[in-house]
Structure 1
Amino acid sequence: MSEALINGVAGAGGGIIAQLITYPLQTVNTRQQTERDPKEKKKALGTLEHMSKVVRQEGWARLYGGLTPSLVGTAASQGVYYYFYQIFRNKAEAAAFDRKRRGTGDGSVGMLSSLMVAALSGCVNVLLTNPIWVVVTRMQTHTRKGKPNCSDSSFVGVDLAALESSFGTAHAIQEVYDEAGLFGFWKGVLPTLIMVSNPSIQFMLYETLLKRLKSRRIARGKLNSDVSALEIFFLGALAKLGATVVTYPLLVVKSRLQAKQKAGGDKRHQYRGTMDAILKMIRYEGVDGFYKGMSTKIVQSVFAAAILFMVKEELVKGSKWLVTRGGGAVRKPKLLLQ
């Protein structure tokens, strides 16, 4: 089994678990990002207040709106990202080793190379999976009028797929197609491509922190430089925190473009493209508009990233152990042998 495939599968598994745990926060955050009230309107609701409002007016089910396509998107995104990340990472390591052999380096992958590896992986991921996230955004921002006739306790044991029946995946896909045709499924792709700087910064910080931690242990004379699951959790959280703070405005613009555009509505809330959205947000909402819901996003994304890193690393270790125990070997991609 190849190392790239192991990392791809482990990344998908970690992403799904993180998504299941943090999804209600993601739904609330997407709604906060797509609120388009002028800056003179009342103060925006906080995370818990917004969540309580959704539950009170629309029921618990709406916190899980779009969960099914989101899980598919998470598995696809993390699988694609980690698969290509490992391939590009091994290529970078091979190039670094070759430079060391020629006497022009220390054999390690530098910060710039790590950034490029993450960026290339992110671009491939965005182009392949953007349609899934357009559908997810539509389902998360779809609001249901009135409170459903069900108590909080009745939500327990309900099939999650059935929760989306009032505005299901097929409905969301049809709505996007009717609004903008096939092109509609790539709405927001420009800011999303720019947003690859988020995982790029995240992985650059993560790899740097991990390398320094291992180097410090070696310097202290510790023979075992393995990093524990808890340490991976905190390293992932710190890396994601830094990346989220830097790139959050682009995430808001992306969500605005992917949310439903109401025909015949307020022209201030209709966007023809990325620059049009940015200019209208500056004009009608001010700079604060680019940071709507950032506190929610920090909690959700940092927690999700920490879980993802921890679970993914444990799955990689477990997979390699199973392969070697079964008499197999973890194969490096062929490009390392060139």
Structure 2
Amino acid sequence: MSGASQVAASGGSARDVFCNSVAGAAAGVFVAPFVHPLDVVRTRLQVDGVPSGHKGSVIITSLQTIIKKEGLKGLYRGLSPTILALIPNWAVYFMVYERLKGLVHSHGWLSQYHLRNNRSRYKLLFDYIHQHFEDYICWKPNRFMYTWSFDLIKRLMSLDAVDNGDQVSTGTNMIAAVGAGAAQAITTNPLWVVRTRLQTQGIRPEVVPYGSVPSALIRIAREEGLRGLYRGTLPSLVGVSHVAIQIPAYEMIKCYIARKDDEAVDQPGPVNVIFATIVSKLAASIVTYPHEVVRSKLQEQGQGGRDRYAGVIDCVKKVYRHEGVPGFYRGFFTSLLRTIPSAVITFASYEGVRGFLLRALLPDEKLLQSHLALETPKELKRE
């Protein structure tokens, strides 16, 4: 394989990075306006529970109450930070995901690193942290999001799975999904805090309303410090398990259908994308939804100087004590009505935009050949 081909295979060419980032950002923008009203309802149900005295459908009752008290504007509270968060959210996610998946697959790291006992694993972890201590202290964001965080995961992997030819293994997809999800959560958490505050301020009359997204960010930072902007980060990182289930499941289903229908894996049909998205999203949501309830409660608190929960564990204990297991699934069906169509639009948009860009842009090797063809012999001789 040529050097250019190796780069392309690892998902690291400028063309691939550009296509993955733009497709991810476009997918985020397309989906937000369609499902935002349900997102507002879901967030309020997670924070405050079911309204007392409601009749009929909780979703319809909640929508009617919001329109009656706050107008149509109330259904779109927090839309600006949602869009601002979704653009880097999906751009970062799909870019990092494809990059990690390509690197793990092309270099065969899953089959190269077999740590046979815990002692060697702990020793390797200690040696790695010691060697990169300066990077931890300096807290270099780019290196944290990608280089040494992925390198550490790679070295600690002791899976026995081996990639089979061009087929990307489930372990590879899981590594890529977890790494991309962590980068996504850390990068965009402040915007999700603002979104949650804007969506719930309609039911908090005692709190001075937030204005624009920039003013909300400044006010939260001034009143609550950096901690306020990163409320709910820990449950968000725990929520990486959601994509660790959803994305590998999506890839597995997509590959299975492609083999069955004799289609190209990178060019799935719309029906196949929809089916793979619905099944994978439903499975991931059932397993990981409780972390969203905890995250919303932690992100919402702090308005008006009120802290009802001391942290993640305290929040989990109080929700279980007062509401039991159902408390961790408040707004679940509302969430499904929002997240499944959202996921379908997101993945369909991503696959469509990415496929269009990959077809529209010349591959790296063709670009190089066309560039060399334009060079004069004199220029080539000088080199």
TM-score by length of 2: 0.72
1:8 aligns with 2:49: no
Over the aligned positions, Cα root-mean-square deviation in angstroms equals: 2.9
1:270 aligns with 2:308: yes
Unpaired segments ≥5 residues, structure 1: 147-164, 331-338
1:223, CA displacement in angstroms? 8.7
Residue in 2 aligned with 1:306? Answer: 344
2:224·2:302 contact (CA, 8 Å) conserved in 1? no
Residue in 2 aligned with 1:209? Answer: 253
1:245 to 264, 270, 286: 286
Structure 1 residues 84 and 226, CA, compared in 2 at 3 Å: closer, same or farther?
closer
Per the alignment, in what secondary structure is the counterpart of residue 362 of structure 2?
helix
1:282 to 308, 316, 320: 320
Residue in 1 aligned with 2:78? Answer: 66
**Residue type of the alignment partner of 1:48:** I
Q: Distance in 1 between matches of 2:322 and 2:226?
A: 30
Residues 299-319 of structure 1, C-alpha deviation per residue, up to 9 Å, x if partnerless? 111110001111111101111
Q: Distance in 2 between matches of 1:20 and 1:236?
A: 20
Residue in 2 aligned with 1:106? Answer: 164
Per the alignment, in what secondary structure is the counterpart of residue 18 of structure 1?
helix
Superposition map of 1:83-102 within 5 A: 83-96=95-108
TM-score by length of 1: 0.81
Per the alignment, in what secondary structure is the counterpart of residue 324 of structure 1?
coil
1:187 aligns with 2:235: no
Residues 122-169 of structure 1, C-alpha deviation per residue, up to 9 Å, x if partnerless? 1111111111111111111110689xxxxxxxxxxxxxxxxxx97432
**Which structure exhibits the higher relative contact order, with contacts defined as CA atoms closer than 8 Å and separated by 6 or more residues?**
1
Residues 24-62 of structure 1, C-alpha deviation per residue, up to 9 Å, x if partnerless? 111111111101579xx6569611211111001111001
2:15·2:363 contact (CA, 8 Å) conserved in 1? no
Unpaired segments ≥5 residues, structure 2: 1-13, 113-161, 369-383
Residues 99-128 of structure 1, C-alpha deviation per residue, up to 9 Å, x if partnerless? 69xxx6522322122111100111111111
Q: Distance in 1 between matches of 2:318 and 2:215?
A: 29
Per the alignment, in what secondary structure is the counterpart of residue 245 of structure 1?
helix
Q: Distance in 2 between matches of 1:233 and 1:124?
A: 26
1:262, CA displacement in angstroms? 5.4
Aligned residues: 301
Residue in 1 aligned with 2:6? Answer: none
1:133 aligns with 2:165: no
1:116 aligns with 2:181: no
Q: Distance in 2 between matches of 1:278 and 1:117?
A: 29
Per the alignment, in what secondary structure is the counterpart of residue 361 of structure 2?
helix
1:28 to 36, 41, 66: 41
1:96, CA displacement in angstroms? 3.9
Residues 187-219 of structure 1, C-alpha deviation per residue, up to 9 Å, x if partnerless? 11111001011122110110000111111123x
Structure 1 residues 271 and 91, CA, compared in 2 at 3 Å: closer, same or farther?
same
Stretch deviating more after TM superposition (136-145 or 313-322): 136-145
Q: Distance in 1 between matches of 2:236 and 2:91?
A: 18
Q: Radius of gyration: which is bigger?
A: 2
1:77 to 89, 112, 115: 89
1:210·1:235 contact (CA, 8 Å) conserved in 2? yes
Q: Distance in 2 between matches of 1:166 and 1:272?
A: 24
1:34·1:255 contact (CA, 8 Å) conserved in 2? yes
Structure 1 residues 225 and 78, CA, compared in 2 at 3 Å: closer, same or farther?
closer
Residue in 2 aligned with 1:153? Answer: none
1:236 aligns with 2:257: no
Q: Distance in 2 between matches of 1:50 and 1:26?
A: 12
1:37·1:285 contact (CA, 8 Å) conserved in 2? no
- Identity rate of aligned residues, in percent? 28
Residue in 1 aligned with 2:355? Answer: 317
